[in-house]
A and B are shown apart, each in its own frame.
Chain A
């Protein structure tokens, strides 16, 4: 158990809909990272927050947004969903603000868009 929690574990929705994925980092970790894992694209970095502020952006679509709250939990919002958004979404956390350190991954949320 990494100490990172993600909810929900599974999400099934329809195209055009909007969903919110939630992540609670390990106690004491200030950084939260979001990743998307799909068969064709592999593991892609989406976005990082550090202590409430956006720190780095990766291959995140404009339809996706995220935020980190004062209690350090984070939410990833996916809107106008398309079939291609079906994937595993992972949250990870770390102590450091840079991506150089060890990251602790949550169990993931499996999103299926029908």
Chain B
């Protein structure tokens, strides 16, 4: 079963616009990670935020974490065509921290 659920399932934006996607999860976690997957290829780690952190930045990426709501958001600013990909959140539950549970992903299309 999947711990995280992303919203929306799909997102289409114009180049230069910001893209925001959300992830909700069910149980208490140690960390939450975001990964990117280009079509049919391996996942690439983007950012990890610990349960005691509220916000983290990496380049054009901004991640927030609200453990009280069991949710996280990923913001990509000034999007580029190369950002077209699927984005997944992944969590490791406190009760089961050997496993990463991935959500179903958000498919982002950046139009030129």
Contact = CB atoms under 8 A, between A and B. Distances in A.
A99 interface: yes
A48 B104 contact: no
Given A42-B2, A42-B104, A42-B105, A90 B42 contact: yes
Interface in A27-78: 33, 35, 42-45, 48, 55-56, 58
B61 interface: no
A100 to B, nearest CB: 5
Contact of B45 (A88, A98, A100, A102): A102
A48 B40 contact: no
Interface residues of A, number: 28
B30 to A, nearest CB: 5
Nearest to B2: A42
A45 B41 contact: no
Interface in B71-112: 88, 92, 96-105
B44 interface: yes
9 contacts: A33-B100, A42-B103, A43-B105, A88-B40, A90-B43, A100-B97, A103-B100, A106-B42, A108-B42
B92 A2 contact: no
Interface residues of B, number: 24
Interface of A: 2, 4, 33, 35, 42-45, 48, 55-56, 58, 88, 90, 92, 97-108, 110
Contact of B42 (A4, A44, A56, A58): A4
Interface string B28-49: 0011010100001111110010
A109 B43 CA distance: 13
Given A100-B30, A100-B92, A2 B42 contact: yes
Contacts of A92: 43
A90 to B, nearest CB: 6
Nearest to B105: A42
Contacts of B43: 43, 90, 92, 103, 105
A105 B42 contact: yes
